[in-house]
Structures are given as C-alpha cells and as structure tokens.
Amino acid sequence: MTQGPLAPSRTARTRLRREEIVTTAARTFADRGYAHVGMRDIADAVGIRGASLYHHFAAKEEILYAVCLTVTREPCEENLPLLDAAGTPAQRMALLVRAHLRHLYRRRVEHLVGLHEMASLTPEHRTEIDGHRRYYQRRVRDVITAGTRSGEFTVPDAQLAAFAVLDMLNGFSGWFRDDRGLSLDAVVEGYVELVVARTLGAGGALA
Amino acid sequence: MTQGPLAPSRTARTRLRREEIVTTAARTFADRGYAHVGMRDIADAVGIRGASLYHHFAAKEEILYAVCLTVTREPCEENLPLLDAAGTPAQRMALLVRAHLRHLYRRRVEHLVGLHEMASLTPEHRTEIDGHRRYYQRRVRDVITAGTRSGEFTVPDAQLAAFAVLDMLNGFSGWFRDDRGLSLDAVVEGYVELVVARTLGAGGALA
DNA sequence: GCGTTTACCTAACCGTGGTTAGGCTCGCGT
DNA sequence: ACGCGAGCCTAACCACGGTTAGGTAAACGC
C-alpha cells in the first residue's frame, strides 16, 4: 500500500471504470433493449471506443451478466439478513418489504434490464441468476410459513402467497416514476400495508 | 361464397397459416428470446423456407407485433366486459380475476413474449400495445374505486391497489407450470381470495 | 379451360455488429 | 531511470440474419 486514500489506487480506478461501464450499459439496455445496443453504443456513452470495452469485459454478454448480478446478489446480501433480525415474522416481513422496494428504486434501471433480458444470458449465467432468485423466494416463503405457524399470518398457502407478494413487489420497478403523483415513501408504506397487513393478513401488528 | 364450410375457404386457410406462424414463433421466442431467433428458425419450425414467411408478414417485427396484440387485445375484449356485468364491484372483480388468470394460462407462451420483448417493437406498435395495457389498468382501477365508494373495498389508494393487483396477477404466467404441485383451479381460487378478499379487503363478499 | 393469384421455393445480397489484431502512451513499481 | 502492463486507440474481419428478386406449381374464379 504505497497509495494514500486521496488518489485512488490503480485497482480501485479499474473497478470504478468497470462499474461506470456497467451502469452506463444498464441505462442504455433499459432504454433501447439489449439486442438493439451495440458495443459501440455503450462505448460512446462511456466516452471510449468500442474495442476498448474488451479490455474490461470479454464479451457483451459479460456486461449484461454484471448488470443482472447486481440486482440478484445485492438483495440477497442486503435484504435477506433482515429476515434473521429480532421480531415477529410480520415485523421482519415489513422490514423486508421496505428494503426490497428501496432497492428496486435505487437500482431501478438495472432491475428493468434484469427482468427483461434474462433470455440473452449464457445458460450457465442464467442458471446462476435464477439460483439467486429462487433462494430469495424460498427465504420469503419460509418467513410466511413461520408467520402462518405463529398465527400472525392467515394465508392458506405460503408458497402461493410468496409468489403473489414477490410479483407484487417486483412489479413496482415497472411502473414507478419520480415525476408522477406518488412519492416513494408513500408507495413504500402503502405497500407495507398491502402486503403484510392485507395480503398476508397480519391485521395491525406492524413495526 | 361458392365455398361450403367443410373445405375451408382460401381466406380461411390463409388466416390459419398466419395463426400457425404466430403461434409457432411465439413458442420459439419464449424459449430462446426474440433476438436469438432468426426468420429461418421460425420457418423451420413451421415447415417452410425462411423467405416464404414474407408472403405472410412484411417483417420479423410484424410477427412479434401479432403475438403482442393477441395478449393485449384479447383480454380487453374478453375480460373487460365482465366488469360491466351485474353484481357488486367485489363480485365483478372476482370474475375478472378468474378470466384474467385463465387467459394468462391459455396464452401463457404469448404472454411471456409480450412481457419480455416489448423493447423490440416499433415505437408505433409499442405505443399501441401500451395503450391497451393502460386502458385495461384504468378499467381495473375504476372498479376498485367503485368498490371503495360502495364500502366493499377498504384500500386507501385505488391507483396503488390497481398496480399491486395487476402485477400480482400478471406475475402468474412467469412461474406457473403444469407439471408442478399446484393445479390451475387451485391457483385461480387462491388468487381470487388473495386479491379480492384480502388485498382489496372485501371480507367474505365473493360470488 | 384459362388467366390470375396464392403460396412457396432457390439464390443471393448486404448492412449490422461482435470480435480480433496490433500498436501507441502514460503511470506505476522497483 | 527504466521496463512493463494497464488502458485505450485504429483498422479490419467476417459471420449472421433480415430482406429482396425472381421463378414455379397448384388452386381458384369466371
């Protein structure tokens, strides 16, 4: 470490560049669709030449893969620990809903890409991304099951409820826009009630 | 009309062929993604040569457009009339949920394509498809508003509830498979309860 | 029956876009 | 101070795939 924290180290700058490419590409993919975006388009948006992208990524699909990773791994790492926190299933579920929606918002561009362009991933990459999603879904289902056992939730089928809740939440990134009537906070709290209190049936027992 | 109903007329056979192409293409698009499917692939699946497709469609995008049309126009024509039927908002909503899910099931392949490949449509076609979707959503929101006014539904925000309900329903086509535990009928009735009774809050007042 | 249309064919074109080859320059580590 | 590799460049390749041109055989309407 001959490098102070003021001037970013070489590896740090490289990482920054990679992230810049991924973010820029995600924005372009979201706007025009993965297939309609060429390497030269991504490069233009970053400010370099098309061929230079291959210094950072081995193929176009690797960039898409990086985008998809951020939207399936981050929620697992950041949101799921909330399900292990203290509190009743309903309280923990409310925490998850808030974190989930805020992540969808923070990464809304990447989420749009991740939801639509799965088919363009390599089979192996696709399998891995799917694995993350299935794991997340399983954890949500387990909390619902726990809430059902404790009597807080009243759904007949935890699996079905998990599908319903996750589809409801994930749909958010498809329609929410900053410049329309609804504020983020209003939607988040509205959804906490819709999901935890109503759909799952935990009356007024919220955190 | 020199043509009896036994031997299909020329125009009828042409229409059949078109529909066969659309159906086959939808299946292929759903499997491998619109961009990864060539005209020759579609033609192979139908049993003709690539160039022959241009006798029925002017461009590849026209085929995708036809797929998208069936999944946005059909629900408007077949499901929305149920909202004008007799009965309370909750009863009418329950009818819509059933019809909506059964349509998602009947046309599940086309729905998968319609949800994922929007970006590959011509701007004009995309606008038209979006129009159908927005109209459908508006009609659902209006029923929820009606149910709120009549006191059957207890949601604070009809617009938000409409988003939530439609995302929940449409997600169905993303995960339902015939060969797993759940039966279609079980899911449909489960979702009627989740949507109408729980999420919208119409206690036990179902049809 | 006979022209016309339908539906399909073979053959080829050609733009697009992912990818590669190879060279320049600067900053970093020793 | 010097070598090396990171980062970016220009130039070009080339395969894929949408599309067009032009022809043929059967089906249809009068």
Residue A10: the pLDDT is 64
Q: Hey, what amino acid is at B103?
A: H
pLDDT digits (tens, 9 = 90+) for B114-130: 999 998 999 999 999 99
Alpha carbon distance B124, B121 (integer Å): 8
Cβ separation B167–A168 shorter than 8 A: yes
State pTM to two decimals: 0.91
In the block, residue with structure tokens 């990464």: A107
Whether nucleic acid strand D comes within 7 Å of the CB of B50, the answer is yes
Query: What's the average model confidence in pLDDT over A191-196?
Result: 98
* Listed range (A128-137, A189-198, B10-19, B70-79) with the worst mean pLDDT: B10-19
Whether nucleic acid strand C comes within 7 Å of the CB of A54, the answer is yes
Tell whether the torsion through CA atoms of A109, A114, A115 and A118 is positive or negative.
positive
Residue B5: the pLDDT is 45
Flag whether residue A180 sits within 8 Å of chain B, measured between CB atoms.
Answer: no
Chain B hits for A36, CB-CB cut-off 8 Å, are 119-120
Query: What's the average model confidence in pLDDT over A113-134?
Result: 94
SS3 A107: coil
- Nearest one of B66, B189, B76 to B139, comparing CA atoms: B76
Does A148 score more than 70 pLDDT?
A: yes
pLDDT digits (tens, 9 = 90+) for A36-58: 999 999 999 999 998 889 999 99
Residue A27: the pLDDT is 96
- Given phi > 0 = left and psi -120 to 50 = alpha, else beta, which region is B201? left
Chain A hits for B172, CB-CB cut-off 8 Å, are 163, 167
- Nearest one of B122, B84, B108, B119 to B170, comparing CA atoms: B108
Does A29 score more than 90 pLDDT?
A: yes
State the burial class of residue A11 (Cβ atoms within 10 Å of its Cβ: 0-12, 13-18, 19+).
exposed
Half-sphere exposure of B177 (CA within 13 A, CB side): 4
What's the mean per-residue pLDDT of chain A? 92
Residue A204: the pLDDT is 63
Q: Hey, what amino acid is at B207?
A: A
Query: What's the average model confidence in pLDDT over A31-35?
Result: 92
Residue A3: the pLDDT is 43
**Min Cα–Cα distance to chain B from A69, Å:** 18
Residue B2: the pLDDT is 39
**CB of A198 closer than 8 Å to CB of A142:** no
Which parts of chain B have pLDDT scores under 70?
Answer: 1-8, 10, 204-207
